[in-house]
Amino acid sequence: MRLAERVAIVTGAGNGIGKAIALGLAREGAKVAIAELDLEAASQTEQEILNGGGSGKAIATNVSSEESTASMVKQVVDAFGRVDILINDAAHPPLPRKPWYELSVEEWNKPFSVDLLGCFLCSKAVFPYMRSQGSGRIINFSSSTVVGVPGSGGVLPYVSAKAAVIGFTRTLARHVGDHGINVNTLMPGSTLTERVKRRQSKDYIDNYSAQRCFKRPGQPQDMVGAAVFLSSDDSSFITGQTILVDGGRGML
């Protein structure tokens, strides 16, 4: 197993892509902390990991709170002794669909408070432990909407925050490279999570899929291989990079 004895934190792992990645890391031998605002959902992921013979721990976490993220990381270290991998997948729910100029300042700030600030606070919390180990992996989640910008005004703050994640990744990689810490970005395309199924019509999903090289909907499981690769020693000389995983719709 490629991640045996490694300790991973996956934020937003109560469902969707985060859950798929948490389960995938566990199958590769990692001990996985599920850092999730919804503790019930996190506990379900934990139970699935345990049922598969892995080691998991659900921790109620608000990634936009410095106190909460610091407490979460301390709980992980207390339980597992170290932290090797941080995957920042938590994201704010979609905003109302309306023209961009009707968005309030509060609505503008919401995606930044989770998608970007969460990356910063969780990275800040794990850094002392990774620095003392002389190694670590941080994987931040952006979105393919950054390169294939949708027209809906309500996504302007979301796309802006996800674009900022790429800048955060590249800059952080410069700051922590001397400590043996890799920082990279994964950029998923539209993925058939339960949230997407509820919000998008079948026609939208079919049309989106038809624009891909691989003409099928993306599944949460499609992100697991890239996440495991970036978490493993196979990517030890890769940092500051963005990997688009969208079936070839918006090739970089």
In a domain, residue 1? The reply is no
**Any residues with CB less than 8 A from the CB of 168 and at least 6 apart, and which?**
116, 119, 120, 140
User: Is 250 a domain residue?
Assistant: no
Averaged pLDDT for residues 42-57: 98
Tokens 């030890």, residue?
A: 236
User: Does a structural domain hold residue 154?
Assistant: yes
The domain tally of the chain equals: 1
Range of the domain at 38: 7-245
CB 4 within 8 A of CB 29: yes
Domain membership of residue 92 (yes or no) is yes
Q: Which residues contact 237 (CB under 8 A, 6 or more apart)?
A: none
In a domain, 213, yes or no: yes
> Which residue matches tokens 């000389």?
237
pLDDT at 150 over 80: no
Active site residue 158: yes
Cβ 12 vs Cβ 36: under 8 Å: yes
What is the DSSP annotation of 140-180?
EE--GGGTS----GGGHHHHHHHHHHHHHHHHHHHHHGGGT
For all residues of the chain together, what is the average pLDDT?
93
Taking residues 131-152, what's their average pLDDT? Answer: 88
**The tokens of 233 are what?**
């020693």
The span from the CA of 193 to the CA of 218, in Å, is 9
pLDDT at 194 over 80: no
- Residue 161 contacts by C-beta under 8 Å, 6 or more apart in sequence? 92, 111, 112, 115, 116
**68-93 residue pLDDT tens:** 999 999 999 999 999 999 999 999 98
Say if CB 7 and CB 76 are below 8 A apart.
yes
Question: Please, what is the end-to-end C-alpha distance for the chain in angstroms?
Answer: 31
170 within a domain of the structure (yes/no): yes
- Split at pLDDT 50, 70, 90, the class of 205 is confident
Q: What CATH number is given to the structural domain containing 191?
A: 3.40.50.720
* SS3 at position 7: strand
Catalytic member of 101, 129, 158, 204: 158
Mean pLDDT of 122-141: 98
Q: Is residue 251 part of a domain?
A: no
Domain contains 88: yes
Output phi, psi for 93, to 5 deg: -60, 155
Q: Distance (Å, rounded) from C-alpha 54 to C-alpha 189?
A: 29
